[in-house]
Structure 1
Amino acid sequence: LVGFNNRWELSFAQQTLQVKPLDTAIQQHIYGAKVRAFGDLIYGDLPQVSVGVQQKFNINPTVPNSLGANSDSSTDVYLSASKLWLHAVAERNLLVNATARYTDANQTGLLGFGNNSGEDYQWVGEMSAALFINNNWAVGAEYRQQPNRLDSVEESPWWDAFVAWFPNKRIALVAAYVDLGTVALWEKQRGGYISIQITN
């Protein structure tokens, strides 16, 4: 992830999913660009609004194609709004984000894009909220809607609940409970998650 002038962001991500029932792995590359359009996270009445695009490539399309996907690459477009309310809940700061995504990705693209019935792009919603207990700790939750277009796979919404610790401005440690439902014929994908982010 690279940012410019607190307005532009360019990103690259690689996702790898081990599918034990099929004894294989699915890999996806995601190239992204985002621009802050208007508004402000803290000051003023309008939230900070950003517009982004993600180009996705499924590197191993054999499994998605066998499940009914009709493409191994596609483009997401999204509109995101974020706002931080100071002293909002019991004198604690509250951060809320809402995103509308126009996509034809099955399970974010891990199961390819579109389907054999010709059903392609649709709008899906994403929400997250975090309550800052103090300057170093926050608790929150995230929810992500999924299109659920493949007849052979039941696609569940994704959600998580998390606790975040910020020992300083450069380090963030997040522990979460994540529920992804069924992913690539693998049911009950839920459990713990820990991430460490270091920025310079």
Structure 2
Amino acid sequence: MTRPLSITAVAAATALICLSAQADTGKLLLTGGVSTIEGAAGGGITPWAVIGTNATDDEIGGSAFFSNVGTRDYGLNVYGAAIGINDRFELSIAQQDFNTRDTGRALNLPGLHLKQTIIGGKVRVFGDAVLDSDNLMPQIAVGFQHKQLGSTGLDGTLNTLGAKRSGTDFYVSATKLLLGQSLLLNGTLRATKANQNGLLGFGATLGGNENKYSLQPEFSIAYLLSKNVAIGAEYRFMRNKLETAGRGAGLGNGLRAEDWKDIFIAWAPNKNVSLTLAYVDLGVIVPATSGNRKQTGYYVSAQVAF
């Protein structure tokens, strides 16, 4: 299943990039955010209410990105693309490739990669981040992210835990841009069943878990040092239902999840290119095989937008 999903992602991304040439004007630098690891416009790990690309009203824009995350025990590559329509609608697609490294070898699955395709949509329903920057009205958007985890050697384990290989997140984001203070604030509330962002499946019924959505808040703050450089931080609460299922399987707290955080700097040398570098702390990920080590490391991302 993984290979067809990857081919679909590449084909869709190529089509989106071709469409991007339709818009050559743009927004203020960095006010459209960058591409998250799930493809939506925002910070690195959480979506914002902004619509990605440089397209403004009555325009269609496109963007493409590549991101790499490296922690003590894991690696993640993500690539994808998005379309922005009339600064109101956003469609995105992303392909994640999670390298389990030593964890896979510990599970007798050397070379284990977890691959996930994410198709997302977002619509701005209220406000305008730039035009409303002189009042208290934030820009508000609602969105979804449908995630499909490819088939791997973990299928049997996920089945035992009662975890599914696909799921859909729903979220609402509010973004407030304070131009006079060079400050951007964002809050997102996500309804999700995803374990570790979906890379360990969705939901888990073993151990008496109820396979229901849970609400997880996410926060971002960014300060514009100049018109093309921003620094900031993000905090994303992570669902931890899989730990209970892990206990039911005799793993103790071996499947515990913790919140994700980052501190980032973003640079836009021009209106079409942005580069992001961050320090990330993803907490523990499958501590049963990683010795309860915190997964800290780096995040780098490059985006081209039109």
TM-score, length-normalised on structure 2?
Answer: 0.61
Structure 1: 5+ residue stretches without partners: none
Greater length-normalized contact order (CA 8 Å, ≥ 6 residues apart): 2
Query: Is 2:228 the partner of 1:136?
Result: yes
> What secondary structure does 2:154 align onto?
helix
Which residue of the partner structure matches residue 141 of structure 2?
50
Alignment deviations for residues 50-109 of structure 1 (CA, whole Å, 9 cap, x no partner):
000111111136526515242111111100000111222xxxx00111100000100110
Report if aligned partners of 1:72, 1:113 keep a CA contact under 8 Å in 2.
yes
Report if aligned partners of 1:181, 1:190 keep a CA contact under 8 Å in 2.
yes
Task: Give the greater-gyration-radius structure (CA).
Answer: 2
- The more displaced of 73-82 and 52-61 is 52-61
- Give the alignment of 1:105-124 within 5 angstroms: 105-116=194-205, 117-124=209-216
Query: Is 2:258 the partner of 1:156?
Result: yes
Which residue of the partner structure matches residue 17 of structure 1?
98
- The more displaced of 79-88 and 53-62 is 53-62
Alignment deviations for residues 98-138 of structure 1 (CA, whole Å, 9 cap, x no partner):
10000010011000000122242110011111000111211
Which residue of the partner structure matches residue 125 of structure 1?
217
Tell me which amino acid in the other structure corresponds to 2:257: E
- Decide whether aligned partners of structure 1 residues 46 and 18 sit closer, same or farther in structure 2, where only a CA change above 3 A counts: same
> What secondary structure does 1:108 align onto?
helix
Which residue of the partner structure matches residue 193 of structure 1?
299
- Decide whether aligned partners of structure 1 residues 64 and 71 sit closer, same or farther in structure 2, where only a CA change above 3 A counts: same
Query: Is 2:83 the partner of 1:8?
Result: no
Tell me which amino acid in the other structure corresponds to 1:19: T
Name the structure where helix makes up a greater proportion of residues. 2
**Partner Cα distance (2:127, 2:258) in 1:** 33
TM-score, length-normalised on structure 1?
Answer: 0.92
**Partner Cα distance (2:211, 2:176) in 1:** 34
Moved over 6 A (4+): none
Which residue of the partner structure matches residue 163 of structure 2?
70
Name the structure where strand makes up a greater proportion of residues. 1
> What secondary structure does 1:87 align onto?
helix
Please provide the CA RMSD for this pair. Answer: 1.6
**Partner Cα distance (1:7, 1:40) in 2:** 10
**Partner Cα distance (1:61, 1:52) in 2:** 28
